[in-house]
Amino acid sequence: DAGVTQSPTHLIKTRGQQVTLRCSPKSGHDTVSWYQQALGQGPQFIFQYYEEEERQRGNFPDRFSGHQFPNYSSELNVNALLLGDSALYLCASSLFVGTGLNEQFFGPGTRLTVL
């Protein structure tokens, strides 16, 4: 049973460029959440997708956008990259059952470096 997968593993971009990160959820999961984790910090919630719609959004600018496909996989797009966007981007999958444990399974992350 494949867990959460993300691609690419590492990425180097320059300021002003655009980037697309990809995530495939754990088999059987229908919800994908994206997090940004700066060095030495905890993961910060960007947004969550369920049924191909953005359901929740954290405190991130519109430069951050996403998409979910019918097979539940998801993309995170960041436009007009800034140096401060350098971070580990984590994807987490779960079932959209709301409360209770509703455990999230994290992917290995994509390390984005903006020069």
Partner 1 sequence: GQNIDQPTEMTATEGAIVQINCTYQTSGFNGLFWYQQHAGEAPTFLSYNVLDGLEEKGRFSSFLSRSKGYSYLLLKELQMKDSASYLCAVREEGGSYIPTFGRGTSLIVHP
Q: Which of 21, 26, 32, 33 binds partner 1 (CB under 8 A)?
A: 33
Q: Which of 7, 18, 27, 56 binds partner 1 (CB under 8 A)?
A: 56
* Integer-rounded Cα radius of gyration of the chain: 13
Binding segment (CB under 8 A) for partner 1, from list 21-29, 36-44, 64-72, 76-84? 36-44
Our CB check for partner 1 shows the closer of 16 and 104 to be 104
Q: Where does residue 3 rank: exposed (0-12), middle (13-18), buried (19+ CB within 10 A)?
A: middle
CB of residue 104 vs partner 1: minimum separation in angstroms? Answer: 7
CB of residue 37 vs partner 1: minimum separation in angstroms? Answer: 8
Q: Where does residue 97 rank: exposed (0-12), middle (13-18), buried (19+ CB within 10 A)?
A: exposed
CB of residue 8 vs partner 1: minimum separation in angstroms? Answer: 15
Q: What is the dihedral of CA 52, 55, 111, 63, to 10 degrees?
A: 90
Per the listing, tokens 């959004």 go with 57
- In the complex, the residues that contact partner 1 under the rule CB under 8 A are 4, 33, 35, 40-45, 48, 56, 58, 90, 98-99, 101-109, 111
